[in-house]
Amino acid sequence: MMSNAILSIQDLQVNYGGIEAVKGISFDVPEGEIVTLIGANGAGKSSTLRTIAGLVKPKSGTITYMGEDITGKDPTAIVTKGITLVPEGRRIFPDLTVKENLKLGAYTRKDDLSDDINWVFDLFPRLKEREWQAGGTLSGGEQQMLAVGRALMSRPKIMMMDEPSLGLAPLVVRGIFDIIKEVNKQGVTVLLIEQNANMALKTAHKGYVLETGRITMSGSGAKLLADESVKAAYLGT
């Protein structure tokens, strides 16, 4: 185990809907870095994130966060500790305003939120313009900004993102990855899962390749990008 790992997964096994979605994986997320899990549909990426977030209970294995075992804790406790999930498909609250969406991100906090709301509005000036608009009326890219902003409202140490580029135009995807880098620069560790392996590996410090519930390869983003088998399987070149 690396000494600077903020999050460490050991032999994680997850059964999901009767099938073995994750078959004993181990990986580390070093503090302050962007780490990505790439893999095809059904490789077990989402199940891994959902398990870390506490939405799914693992069959076996341990999840260690800042030296503490958080395996099987409920989502409220995990969000309070500083791990937050940007769910797949953004899942913003469509009938609530942008501001209400942001406030809900800070649900586990009871202190003053005005500084954090301003911080999010600085990161995403577009959201400031749309403050009183219903979340469902935003464009896809703006909704993704809102989903990220909402997650940041809990003041996370680790932000986990499930397919942030899903269903977005290529130009918007580039914008989202710029946001991810910016958020990371501000001190938030990012765990990212993506099918868009090209963008993900270019952005990430470290990457893991997940295939049918197992980690088959790992290394720096640049190293994986150059790897012939990764190229063939995920980059389509």
List residues near other proteins by CB under 8 A: 53, 55, 74-76, 78-80, 84-85, 87, 91-96, 100, 103-105, 107-108, 150, 154
User: CB-wise, 55 or 66, nearer to other proteins?
Assistant: 55
Structure tokens at 190: 């990012």
Q: Which helix (H) or strand (E) holds 65?
A: strand 60-65
Minimum Å gap between C-beta 82 and other proteins is 11
User: CB-wise, 100 or 211, nearer to other proteins?
Assistant: 100
Residue 121: C-alpha distances to residues 13, 116, 130, 131, 177 (Å): 39, 8, 10, 9, 18
Bridge partners of 86? 161
Structure tokens at 35: 């780490």
User: CB-wise, 58 or 221, nearer to other proteins?
Assistant: 58
Cβ count near 201 (within 10 Å): 26
Minimum Å gap between C-beta 56 and other proteins is 11
Minimum Å gap between C-beta 37 and other proteins is 18
User: CB-wise, 103 or 126, nearer to other proteins?
Assistant: 103
User: CB-wise, 110 or 185, nearer to other proteins?
Assistant: 110
Q: What's the CA gap between 215 and 218, in Å, rounded? A: 8
Minimum Å gap between C-beta 52 and other proteins is 11
Minimum Å gap between C-beta 105 and other proteins is 6
User: CB-wise, 106 or 199, nearer to other proteins?
Assistant: 106
Dihedral Cα 199, 156, 218, 207, nearest 10 deg: 10
Q: What's the CA gap between 38 and 53, in Å, rounded? A: 18
Bridge partners of 162? 193
Q: What's the CA gap between 24 and 58, in Å, rounded? A: 10
Minimum Å gap between C-beta 129 and other proteins is 16
Which one, of 158, 164, 227, lies nearest residue 200 by Cα?
A: 164
